[in-house]
C-alpha cells in the first residue's frame, strides 16, 4: 500500500489553523516558498521605450510617403487600363448587338496625338459618340500604334496586336500595362509588363 503523505504543523502555517511562523522556525514550507517567493523581474525603462518609439516614427516618416506615392501611381495606371479595356469591350458588344441595324460597327478611338489625352466609343454609322469622352488622368501616359479600332457586326476587330501601352509619367516607371486585341474574335485583354 501507498503511504499517506504526512502533513506537519509547519505545512499548514498561514492557512488559518493557528500555527505561527515562530512555531516553525528553521523549517521552511515548500508550499509557502513557491506561492509567495519574490521573483526578480526585469523591465524596460521609460527612456528605452521612448527611444524605440522615436526610431519607429522616423522610419515610418521616411517609408510611408514613398510607398504611398508608388501605390497611388500603380492604382491610377491600373484603373485607367481597366476603363480603356472595358470601353473596348463595350464597342465590341454594341457592334454585335446593333449589327442588324448598323453595318458600320462601333469603334474605340483615341483623342489627341501620342501621348493620347483621352478616348471615346463611337457609332460609325452616324459618327456619334456613345456616352461621354474619357480623359487620361494626369500622371498617366497612353501611347500606341493604333488610334482607332473598329469592331464589325460579328465582333471582329479592324486591327490586332499590342495596341495600347499605358504607363506612369515621370521617373522611375512604376508600372506599364499593354492592351491587346485579337482581330478574329475581338477579344480584349491587358497584361502588366
Residue 71's pLDDT is 80
In 3-state terms, what secondary structure has residue 83? helix
What are the pLDDT digits (tens) for 122-145? 999 998 999 899 999 999 999 988
At the topology level, CATH places domain 69-192 in minor pseudopilin epsh fold (3.55.40)
**Using CA atoms, how far apart are residues 110 and 130, in angstroms rounded to an integer?**
14
Closest Cα to residue 169, out of 128, 104, 115, 110?
115
Residue 175's pLDDT is 87
In 3-state terms, what secondary structure has residue 108? strand
Identify the weakest region by mean pLDDT among 20-29, 85-94, 122-131, 162-171: 20-29
Indicate the average pLDDT of the chain. Answer: 82
Q: Show me where the domains of the chain are located.
A: 69-192
Residue 133's pLDDT is 94
Amino acid at each position: 500500500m501507498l503511504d499517506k503523505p504526512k502533513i506537519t504543523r509547519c505545512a499548514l502555517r498561514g492557512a488559518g489553523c493557528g500555527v505561527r511562523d515562530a512555531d516553525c522556525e528553521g523549517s521552511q514550507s515548500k508550499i509557502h516558498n513557491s506561492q509567495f517567493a519574490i521573483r526578480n523581474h526585469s523591465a524596460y525603462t521609460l527612456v528605452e521605450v521612448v527611444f524605440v518609439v522615436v526610431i519607429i516614427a522616423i522610419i515610418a516618416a521616411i517609408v510611408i510617403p514613398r510607398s504611398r506615392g508608388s501605390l497611388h501611381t500603380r492604382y491610377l495606371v491600373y484603373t485607367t487600363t481597366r476603363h480603356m479595356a472595358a470601353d473596348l469591350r463595350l464597342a465590341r458588344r454594341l457592334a454585335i448587338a446593333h449589327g442588324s441595324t448598323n453595318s458600320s460597327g462601333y469603334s474605340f478611338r483615341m483623342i489627341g496625338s501620342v501621348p493620347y489625352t483621352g478616348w471615346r466609343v463611337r457609332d460609325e454609322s452616324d459618327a456619334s459618340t456613345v456616352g461621354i469622352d474619357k480623359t487620361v488622368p494626369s500622371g498617366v501616359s497612353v501611347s500606341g500604334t493604333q488610334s482607332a479600332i473598329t469592331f464589325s457586326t460579328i465582333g471582329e476587330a479592324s486591327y490586332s496586336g499590342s495596341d495600347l501601352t499605358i504607363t506612369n509619367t515621370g521617373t522611375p516607371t512604376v508600372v506599364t500595362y499593354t492592351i491587346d486585341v485579337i482581330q478574329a474574335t475581338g477579344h480584349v485583354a491587358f497584361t502588366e509588363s
